[in-house]
Chains A and B, each alone.
Chain A
Amino acid sequence: MLKIRNLHAKIEGKEILRGIDLDVKAGEIHAIMGPNGSGKSTLASVLAGNEAFEVVEGSVEFNGKDLLDLSPEDRAREGFFLSFQYPVEIPGVSMTNFMRTALNEQKKYRGEAALSASDFLKLMRDRKQLVDIDSDLTNRSVNEGFSGGEKKKNEIFQMAMLDPKLAILDETDSGLDIDALRIVANGVNKLRRPDNATILITHYQRLLDHIVPDFVHVLYKGKIVKSAGKELAYELEKNGYDWIKQEME
């Protein structure tokens, strides 16, 4: 589904990603861990098409398409989804209007008919239940005045609405209490299918207790320096990143 080869990216002349290779297949869950500042969010942003970052080398193939050649909106329409580490507040744009516009533009791209008003509302209700999001949050402006936890839940709600093929969740677990974490994890698990895939970016083992990854990767200074099964997460939880840093020096 996703094939990243030797990906290098810069911001303000500084090279942040320094040769990333990663393969994600349908049905898989990957976790990317790593110390702060190692480039995890940068990788997510580059994949989503944030123009602040400049790709200087490498390639990304997404379901046979050259991902880097697509606009951010076309990446989303092809089934790519990013749950933002810092969701943006947009006063004046209602959640409902936002989701209706997004969903219908995606449908149009795929040559499907727009949802009727009643089908759309039904879908909203259904997906709200899935992530247990407060009803009045969706009556408000996008993320405006939402608490940290509400913003994260809202990301998963959007994911549930848009039903992507590949989702990257950038620290969706941080700032969540245990109950919220369980709700978010449940949501992700319920959305899991053999034909979609998820990449979890996280600091903590605790999310991985709820969503069990097939692979764990360690990103350090812009490179994936270690990949293994879920046991790697336990090791990182127990021993921190120092031993990896030492191995690297």
Chain B
Amino acid sequence: MQLSEHDISLQRLFAENRELIEKDAAPGVNAAREGAMEAFSKLGIPSSKVEAYKYTNLQAWFKAGYTQAYGLNGATSEALKQFECNVHELDSYTLFTVNGKFVAGSNVEALPDGVEAGSFAELSKKYPELLKRYYGSLAKVEEDGFVALNTLFATDGIFIYVPKGKVVEKPIQVVNVLTGEQDLMVNQRNLIVVEEQAQARVLFCDHTMSMSRFVVNTVTEGHVAESAMLDFYNLQNQHNGTVQVGAYHFDQAARSLLNANYFTLHTGVARNNIFSRLGGPHAENHISGLYVIDKNQHVDNFSFINHAVPDCESNELFKGVMDDASTGAFTGRILVAPDAQRTNAYQSNNNLLLTENAKMNTRPQLEIYADDVKCSHGATVGQLDENAMFYLRARGISKEEANILLMYAFAYEVIEKIQVPALKEQIRELVEKRFRGELDKCDSCVVCGQLGTGRAKSE
């Protein structure tokens, strides 16, 4: 295919800054850039003609000309103090990234022996054998132009390693902060490795702290080994000028359990690419999402559940509450391999459209090549139930309050999926605030204590 002008500007940007980009990176990370370069020259940034990106055209945003995160120094933890981060609310290990670069947080030294959670740039050098084994093994440059772009520019992000048998009870909370006076492009790279019988709970909070435009392309690879467990939460609370592509590639071995939950509470344009491969028998996953959007916000959740072997189970639930002229898309691809017998695969996507201008595209894509399979999928797009509305009002509840009760009632099923009780309560509170229209006003995120942005300007 023909590369666009923007694609070419990105190629040139890389060529001109290669030395700077590669200076502090692990050899394995630099080696991967060769393949990424080749893949990107074939793929470029996908247009909406690429089937997977049919409902979200991101080409306009991805180009050279922004300040590039790799050229910044990041921020010191000293600078972060000005955010008055108050993490006491959630008892957790806390890490930060500022514009994609790791910044030391608190409490991390208290992690169980042998468990690592820190800078991708640092730890990928410390653990070359892990890097060799896992880096780019799930997020393949030749399959998506965004992965290629990320692999080309990747310098830092988060690296989490939970060795065999280690159980990390408290959530590892990663606060991803975007800030600065200039419009910025970030290619953050994360790697999570949970070895046999190990357990981890990981929360990514994505925030914007200034009003600049942020163009973000992040790739996270997560490996869940035999009988291991990973609880993964992503909470997006970013201003309307943010464009974020987030790729999350998981691989699960036998008897492993993955819970992955995506809460998009505020954003500009968000695209989640969620891939999960069930690669060993009796692996199980629960992947869910809640998007609450309004104005011109756009959220596209693209998921691909790959049942590669027999006896696995997948459960997928995505729900959306869409107001004003917001638009959304959901793609639920499920592949059941020819010999993946006794597969259970469940999927649903339900949407609440609050106005006639809100638009939703939802498409299940099932490819089932085994015959002994239990599989169900369902998609709905509807409005608030008028009868329920009248019933509530007839008891003296105002229309506004009744609206909030019913929206919350619609969303609660996704919140119920949260496995960490303290986190569940805080996200519940945050979702309710969002429904009340108080998230804009709220001065800090109840989950990680981050200050909100004055996002009024961008609206």
For the complex formed, measure the closest distance between the CB of B401 and the CB atoms of chain A, giving whole angstroms: 6
Q: Evaluate contact between B396 and A105: CB separation under 8 angstroms.
A: yes
Which of A51, A93, A109, A162 is in CB contact (< 8 Å) with B405? A93
What per-residue 1/0 map shows which CB atoms of B34-67 lie under 8 Å from chain A?
0000000000000000000000000000000000
Residue A76 CB within 8 A of the other chain: yes
Given A73-B398, A93-B405, A93-B409, A88-B388 contact (CB < 8 Å): yes
Task: Give B398-444 interface residues, CB cut-off 8 Å to A.
Answer: 398-399, 401, 405-406, 408-410, 412-413
How many B residues, CB 8 Å from partner?
21
For the complex formed, measure the closest distance between the CB of A38 and the CB atoms of chain B, giving whole angstroms: 22
CB closest residue in chain B, given A89? B388
Assembly CA distance A77 to B395 (angstroms):
8
Task: Give A143-168 interface residues, CB cut-off 8 Å to B.
Answer: 158, 162
What per-residue 1/0 map shows which CB atoms of B355-387 lie under 8 Å from chain A?
000000000000000000000000000000101
**Interface residues of B, dominant DSSP:** helix
Q: Evaluate contact between A98 and B409: CB separation under 8 angstroms.
A: no
Chain A residues whose C-beta falls within 8 Å of the C-beta of B168 in the assembled complex: none
What per-residue 1/0 map shows which CB atoms of A60-76 lie under 8 Å from chain B?
00000000000111011
Q: Evaluate contact between A101 and B391: CB separation under 8 angstroms.
A: no
For the complex formed, measure the closest distance between the CB of B290 and the CB atoms of chain A, giving whole angstroms: 13
Residue B397 CB within 8 A of the other chain: yes
Q: Evaluate contact between A72 and B408: CB separation under 8 angstroms.
A: no
Residue A13 CB within 8 A of the other chain: no
Assembly CA distance A162 to B397 (angstroms):
12
Q: Evaluate contact between B409 and A106: CB separation under 8 angstroms.
A: no
For the complex formed, measure the closest distance between the CB of A204 and the CB atoms of chain B, giving whole angstroms: 25
Q: Evaluate contact between A101 and B410: CB separation under 8 angstroms.
A: no
Chain B residues whose C-beta falls within 8 Å of the C-beta of A50 in the assembled complex: 390
How many A residues, CB 8 Å from partner?
31
Residue A187 CB within 8 A of the other chain: no
Residue A26 CB within 8 A of the other chain: no
Chain A residues whose C-beta falls within 8 Å of the C-beta of B397 in the assembled complex: 73, 98, 101-102, 105
Chain A residues whose C-beta falls within 8 Å of the C-beta of B395 in the assembled complex: 76, 98, 102, 158, 162
Assembly CA distance A101 to B412 (angstroms):
18
Given A50-B390, A72-B390, A92-B396 contact (CB < 8 Å): no
Chain A residues whose C-beta falls within 8 Å of the C-beta of B385 in the assembled complex: 88, 90
Q: Evaluate contact between A106 and B396: CB separation under 8 angstroms.
A: yes
Residue B393 CB within 8 A of the other chain: yes
Given A71-B399, A88-B387, A101-B401, A93-B394 contact (CB < 8 Å): no
Q: Evaluate contact between A90 and B393: CB separation under 8 angstroms.
A: no
Residue A37 CB within 8 A of the other chain: no
Q: Evaluate contact between B399 and A90: CB separation under 8 angstroms.
A: no
For the complex formed, measure the closest distance between the CB of A72 and the CB atoms of chain B, giving whole angstroms: 4
CB closest residue in chain B, given A106? B396
CB closest residue in chain A, given B396? A76
Q: Evaluate contact between A73 and B388: CB separation under 8 angstroms.
A: no
Chain B residues whose C-beta falls within 8 Å of the C-beta of A51 in the assembled complex: 390
Assembly CA distance A89 to B310 (angstroms):
40
Chain A residues whose C-beta falls within 8 Å of the C-beta of B392 in the assembled complex: 90, 93, 98, 102
Chain B residues whose C-beta falls within 8 Å of the C-beta of A48 in the assembled complex: 390, 394
Q: Evaluate contact between B391 and A76: CB separation under 8 angstroms.
A: no
Residue A84 CB within 8 A of the other chain: yes
Chain B residues whose C-beta falls within 8 Å of the C-beta of A31 in the assembled complex: none
CB closest residue in chain B, given A159? B395
For the complex formed, measure the closest distance between the CB of B411 and the CB atoms of chain A, giving whole angstroms: 8
Which of B391, B401, B409 is in CB contact (< 8 Å) with A92? B409
CB closest residue in chain B, given A80? B394
Assembly CA distance A89 to B409 (angstroms):
12
Assembly CA distance A87 to B397 (angstroms):
16
Q: Evaluate contact between B396 and A109: CB separation under 8 angstroms.
A: yes
Q: List 26 A-B contacts (CB under 8 A).
A: A48-B394, A71-B393, A71-B399, A72-B390, A73-B393, A76-B393, A77-B396, A88-B387, A88-B388, A90-B388, A90-B409, A91-B409, A92-B406, A92-B409, A93-B392, A93-B405, A93-B409, A98-B395, A101-B401, A102-B392, A102-B395, A102-B396, A102-B397, A109-B396, A158-B395, A162-B395
| Interface contacts beyond A73-B398, A89-B388: sample of 17 additional A-B pairs, CB < 8 Å, sorted by A | A73-B394, A73-B397, A76-B396, A84-B394, A90-B385, A90-B388, A90-B406, A92-B409, A93-B409, A97-B405, A98-B392, A98-B397, A98-B405, A101-B405, A105-B396, A105-B401, A106-B396
Interface residues of A (CB under 8 A from B): 48-51, 71-73, 75-77, 82, 84, 87-93, 97-98, 101-103, 105-106, 109, 141-142, 158, 162
6 interchain residue pairs of minimum CB distance: A92-B409, A76-B396, A102-B395, A72-B393, A88-B391, A106-B396
